[in-house]
Each structure stands twice: as C-alpha cells, then as structure tokens.
Amino acid sequence: MDRKYWEDVALVHDEKIFDVFSNDAEQVIHKNIIKYSSRKKTAMDLGCAIGNWLPMLSAHFKKVYAVDISKHYIDLAKKKNKQLPNIEYIHVDLAKASKAITTTADVVVCINTLLTPNAQSRNAAYETVIKAVAKKGYLVLVVPALESALYSEFILDLWDAKDKAAGKKADKVAKEGNPFDGTMHLDGTPTKHYLKEELHFMLQQSGFEIVETKKVKYTWKTEFTNPPAWLKAPFPWDWLVVAKRK
C-alpha cells in the first residue's frame, strides 16, 4: 500500500473503496466529530481521498487541512469541494511526512487510512498522525476491527453448516489473513485490522487519554453478497476511538 497503490486505487475509487461516509447509518463518526468541533478550531483530515468529510469539516471548523498520499485523490478532492473556502490541501505520504506537515490541528480525523500491512511504514504514518494533534486536541481514529473480521468468519462457518443441513452446497470462501498480526484480506488486499485493546494501548503509550470507543456499525450487505434473512445483529463494524492528547 505505497503511493503507487493509492494512485491506482484513486482511478477506480468507487468500485474499490468502501464508502464509510455513506454506510455509517447511525452517523457515529459524524456525531463524534461534531462533539469536538468549533468555528474557532482547526481540523485535519489525514487520508482524505475524494474528500467526503470535507464539507462537514469545512462547515464546523475555522480551517481544515486535507492530506493524502495520492495526487489523484488531492486533485479529485479539490475539484469536488472547490466551493469550500477554508480547505488547504497537502499532498504527502504520512509515513515520510514528519517534516512536511508543519502544523498541528485541534481535531485530527483519520478514517481508514492506517491500513498498510507494512508495520514499519504504518508505524511511521501513525507517528505523523499523533504528532498532528495539538496539545489538548482530539484524534478521531477509525480503523477496521479485527474482532469484526473474526466474527464474520464465525458467521460464514455457521452459514455453511446451515446450508449443509438444508442439503445445499456449502461453499463460502473463508477469509484469508493472519489474525495474529491483524493482517486480514479485504477484497484480496492484505489490510491491517485492529483490536480495541491494541488501539487503547497504542494511544495511551503515545500520551493520549481514551475519551470514546464506539462501533461504527454496517449492514451485512457490506460484508457478504446476498446475506441470508436470519443474519441479524450484532452487525459487522469498524472501531472508532476518540483520544485526547494530554
């Protein structure tokens, strides 16, 4: 998941990238950004892609920095949000950005950006993310939940067993990946997934206080094609953690 990967993905964004903005039916992310917003504060969207969050950030903050590794994404976000007056775009790789991002923000939003299975570059990007948060500022971090990926695997097995018992073909394809380091495949792409405790530990070690931990819940249609009618709650989810820099 280097710059080339994201430049290529940007060209086929709609078919390749899961739309968190539209699928967060309970608006957990929206509500948790609004809670810490102020027209006197600054915000930063790290990994902004096409800029889905920029209109709401622009409306609730004095100034917004929109950051992405991909030039295509920065150009698309600029075009899509050209009417917004208070956005500054920064084209940079967070894993190499310690000097390129020269400012901090009161609220930093980082939604499904720290995904690379490469621990070295993910850790470097994480360091940039936490450094971007001003003292007493907030980080709104959203990441794929490892618990949810494993739970989906349990559901697949159950689904297969039910099909078998009904005399149907049991042919669900198990998820690929390594749960021990959290690298699970999403549509064939190895993607870092996180445990709730792992997130808490990381952020506390980095001098943050955990303020909120919420599930961003999605429907089963986001996980499986044609999910069966018996498949209800609990639903699959991403983790949202709001953490305050001490």
Ligand X SMILES: C[S@@+](CC[C@H](N)C(=O)[O-])C[C@H]1O[C@@H](n2cnc3c(N)ncnc32)[C@H](O)[C@@H]1O
CB-nearer residue toward ligand X: 125 or 139: 125
Q: Which residue in the set 37, 42, 81, 113 belongs to the binding site for ligand X (CB under 6 A)? A: 113
* Sheet strands side by side (includes 61-68): 87-91, 61-68, 38-46, 105-111, 133-144, 237-245, 208-217
Nearest distance, CB of residue 229 and ligand X, angstroms: 30
By C-alpha distance, which of 191, 212, 192, 74 is closest to 138? Answer: 212
Token pair, residue 124, equals 């470097």
C-alpha to C-alpha distances, 232 to 112, 123, 178, 228, nearest whole angstrom: 25, 36, 26, 9
CB-nearer residue toward ligand X: 142 or 203: 142
Q: Which residue in the set 70, 148, 152, 183 belongs to the binding site for ligand X (CB under 6 A)? A: 70
Chain residue whose CB lies nearest ligand X? 47
Nearest distance, CB of residue 18 and ligand X, angstroms: 7
Q: Which residue in the set 6, 65, 138, 208 belongs to the binding site for ligand X (CB under 6 A)? A: 6
Question: Which residue carries 């971007």 as its tokens?
Answer: 132
Alpha carbons 188 and 198: distance in angstroms, whole number: 24
Contact flag: residue 93 with ligand X (CB under 6 A): yes
Task: Identify residues 24-63 at the interface with ligand X (CB under 6 A).
Answer: 47, 49, 52
CB-nearer residue toward ligand X: 124 or 134: 124
Nearest distance, CB of residue 228 and ligand X, angstroms: 28
Contact flag: residue 139 with ligand X (CB under 6 A): no
Q: Which residue in the set 21, 224, 235, 237 belongs to the binding site for ligand X (CB under 6 A)? A: 21
Nearest distance, CB of residue 171 and ligand X, angstroms: 29
Counting every residue, how long is the chain? Answer: 246
Alpha carbons 17 and 14: distance in angstroms, whole number: 6
Contact flag: residue 112 with ligand X (CB under 6 A): yes
Contact flag: residue 237 with ligand X (CB under 6 A): no
By C-alpha distance, which of 230, 216, 112 is closest to 166? Answer: 230
What's the DSSP call for residue 174?
A: P
Residue 47: count of CB within 10 angstroms of its CB: 21
Listed in order, strand segments (DSSP E) in 1-86 are 38-46, 61-68
CB-nearer residue toward ligand X: 47 or 177: 47
CB-nearer residue toward ligand X: 20 or 145: 20
CB-nearer residue toward ligand X: 162 or 214: 214
Contact flag: residue 158 with ligand X (CB under 6 A): no
By C-alpha distance, which of 124, 76, 112 is closest to 189? Answer: 112
Residues that bind ligand X (CB under 6 A): 6, 17, 20-21, 47, 49, 52, 67-70, 73, 93-95, 111-113, 125
